[in-house]
Structure 1
Amino acid sequence: MRYLWLTWIDPAPEHDGQRIYSGRLIDAVSAAGGEIEVLCFANKNSPRRPGVAEGNVRWWPVPCAPHSPFASIFSPLPNIAYRSYTADMRRGLHALASQGHWDTVVLDGLYAGWALPHLERIRAANGEPARVVYVSHNHESSLRPDIAQNYRGNPVKAALLRHDAVKSIRTERDILDRSNLITAITEEDATRFRESHPGKRIVALPPGYSGRRLSRRCITADLPRRAVILGSFDWVAKSMNLEEFIAVADPRFAAAGAELQVIGNSDSGLLDTLRRQVRATNLVGEVPEVESYLENSRIAIVPERTGGGFKLKVLDYVFNRLPVAAIVGSVAGTPLRPLESILTFDSLERLAAGVIRALDDLPLLNRLQDCAYAACVDRFDWRRRGESFVAETAAA
């Protein structure tokens, strides 16, 4: 089966959850026999060049010159889609559309919404329009209003977020209307899509995991009394979550003589701002590898009050045998169960207090990490995800 795959940016190197999911899914579909041509923005840190093939995948990166976020104010497209609506992207799509037939066009995330008006010219071998698959990363119609509602910063930015949420809802609806198959990263998102589009073929397609798996680990008193947060904090929802939690947790950790460590990058100067405000939080920033930081922590935290989708970093925690504490509802798509394989709390204050209590409960920490590993060990296989995607596409 021949796929024309439209995504935001070359996912190598893997930088955040979106790139991990897109890149690994492309690889998995290719391994399952799909022939894929990918149109995306070029990534300055990737060696890929236009027309270069890697097995069944041929990459067509175009110059990365996204539109200004402010320019999207005057577009019917939300910012996430408008930034990809460049002349180079449109030329790339038109060139690929003319290269014979395509069985399937993959719209990888809301980013690809810019391409909707151009799909009619992309044809299958029988002359009919190619089938369309929407690979969703979130249920945008619930996520974007949630972000706008929870944002507490600049009033102008708050108004722009509300305006963008309206456009995101409209664009997602248009993509869903046009799609033959919709994949959701969690069953919760799949249920939301089924409620709004009951006649569509909709399947949950959670991620696989291809990182390190520790067969055994014992958390002991020799480890620092440290909790860790992994993430990429460029996106407004991620930066909001981090700021909110640190404001609550840092004074509590300082009073308890414990450390909160944050691993991950932010392009907005957020980490530098936070460093001037904290006492017990070590904002490390971007690192070449995360395993050594996980090894030297007792527990991981998912403090995400805002933002949907599957948190891929949870799999890093689980398979590196680090127990997890999270806000209720923030680990959708995992088989983790409260008190059995994860600690969950209904507020940031309770989350911070609960983590501090758990830091010295070594039997609890070891039981949590053992149960979480056992619950997840056979559930996250990229090979099976690729095979499922190909089969569902053929049936759509």
Structure 2
Amino acid sequence: MDYSRYLLESLSHSTPVHVLAFGKPSDLPPDAPRLSWTLIDHDEPSRLASVLSHLPNVAYRHKSSAYLQAAITASREVDAIFVDFIGLFGLVAPLREALGENGPLIIPVNHNFEHDVRRQMVLAERSLGMRAALTYDTWKAGNLERAANRIADGLVANTDADARAFARVTAKPSVTISPAYNGPRLAARVIDAQTPRRICVLGNHEAHHKRMVLDQTLTALAAHGIERTCDVDVVGAGDNSEFQARFPGFNFYGYVDDIEAYLQTVRFGLIPDEIGGGFKVRALTHVFQRLPMLAVRHAVQGMGLTANVHYAEAENLDEMSTAIPELLNDFARLNRLQNAAYDHCDDIYDWENRGRSLDLFVRTLLADRA
């Protein structure tokens, strides 16, 4: 995950960091001056077998006694242990038991308020069998999420909204560390009639909830015949075969080598996520490549952007589809939106600041313990 990698790199500028991750020795990244790695080989079990476990699917697939033992060994001489993402939250309780209350700080890094995200998935799922499985998995994920953050010494949230959600289930201290941006920035751009009549849906759609979002989006756009008024491109990693068969009027490009050049041929991008919380990292790509955004309500919450100032907002996917034809030709508004978003974000999405904030949070927790 880019968020995890860049956060670790940023933190290592303030303090030494050792990373324990799944992978084969051949995958080992080069050590940086204060960033070192240990990789643990792991074969994921069957996803179906997770039904019999008390752990949600993603945590069951990452359960490993070898990883736990390596984590215990590596943690005996550190000040703090960051347990990154709910897939590893099953480690929190056994780490606390092994290392004791006076051992290193244990700090979960939450990428979402998972229970709420999964409830959205349940409500959107059309298959009764899948809905039952997701309901059970949501219950397990909520239990694990609450337990891990209550056992911990403090927690990291992805957005202020998530931090407030966690405050309802635990009184443990929290810090909000949103993603930042270290990609290329486009100094200036003008969208006009020479820009192709093209919009795009950017981002990978490999995870189940992201495929649900894409399915809902394409269904809504097709119902309004948007593919007949402009080119609609789906760009990003994921198996497109099912969608290509069902939505032949849309363009599916998969991974694009030169994404910066491609985005300059697009009038605006859609952020259609009615499912999924957290921070939309791809929205920063839109901002810094000066691609205006049309987003459904709450899809870019946590970024500090103002609706209809920094991006165009629609209440839902139906309203988004209705808004597209007019926005396509409103060049003054498109340029106003992309300039306002860039100016707003220009100085506040620096990865270096994220590492310093996380280091300060750890030092504060250590001082409070002392």
Which residue number corresponds to residue 4 of structure 1?
none
Which residue number corresponds to residue 205 of structure 1?
177
Is the aligned partner of 1:63 residue 2:44? no
- Aligned counterparts of 2:210 and 2:91: Cα–Cα separation in 1: 27
Which residue number corresponds to residue 79 of structure 2?
103
- Aligned counterparts of 2:223 and 2:168: Cα–Cα separation in 1: 43
Structure 1 counterpart of 2:70, one-letter code: G
Secondary structure of the structure 1 residue equivalent to 2:55: coil
**CA 117–338 in structure 1, closer or farther in 2 if over 3 Å, else same:** closer
* Aligned mate of 1:263, from 219, 235, 245: 235
Which residue number corresponds to residue 311 of structure 2?
342
Structure 2 counterpart of 1:142, one-letter code: D
Which residue number corresponds to residue 368 of structure 1?
337
Which residue number corresponds to residue 157 of structure 2?
184
- Aligned counterparts of 2:3 and 2:162: Cα–Cα separation in 1: 16
Structure 1 counterpart of 2:57, one-letter code: N
Which residue number corresponds to residue 8 of structure 1?
none
Q: Normalising by the residue count of structure 2, what TM-score does the alignment of the two structures yield?
A: 0.93
Cα deviation digits, residues 255-304 of structure 1 (max 9, x gap): 642011111111xx4x1111122243111112234212211100010111
The 5 Å alignment of 1:145-164 reads: 145-153=119-127, 155-164=128-137
- Aligned counterparts of 1:116 and 1:339: Cα–Cα separation in 2: 42
The 5 Å alignment of 1:261-340 reads: 261-266=233-238, 269=239, 271-340=240-309
Which residue number corresponds to residue 9 of structure 2?
27
Shift of 1:118: 2.4
The 5 Å alignment of 1:112-151 reads: 112-120=88-96, 123=99, 128-151=102-125
Secondary structure of the structure 1 residue equivalent to 2:78: coil
Secondary structure of the structure 1 residue equivalent to 2:251: strand
Shift of 1:48: 1.4
Which residue number corresponds to residue 64 of structure 2?
86
Judge conservation of contact 2:24–2:40 (CA < 8 Å) in 1. no
* Aligned mate of 1:355, from 281, 303, 324: 324
Which residue number corresponds to residue 368 of structure 2?
none
327-336 or 311-320: which moved more? 327-336
Judge conservation of contact 1:101–1:122 (CA < 8 Å) in 2. no
**CA 136–201 in structure 1, closer or farther in 2 if over 3 Å, else same:** same
Shift of 1:20: 0.9
**CA 289–55 in structure 1, closer or farther in 2 if over 3 Å, else same:** farther
**CA 395–122 in structure 1, closer or farther in 2 if over 3 Å, else same:** farther
RMSD of Structure 2 on Structure 1 (CA): 1.9
Shift of 1:373: 0.7
- Structure 1: any 5+ residue segments left out of the alignment? 1-18
Cα deviation digits, residues 176-208 of structure 1 (max 9, x gap): 1111111111111111111222x2111211111
- Aligned counterparts of 2:159 and 2:224: Cα–Cα separation in 1: 33
Q: Normalising by the residue count of structure 1, what TM-score does the alignment of the two structures yield?
A: 0.88
Shift of 1:121: 5.8
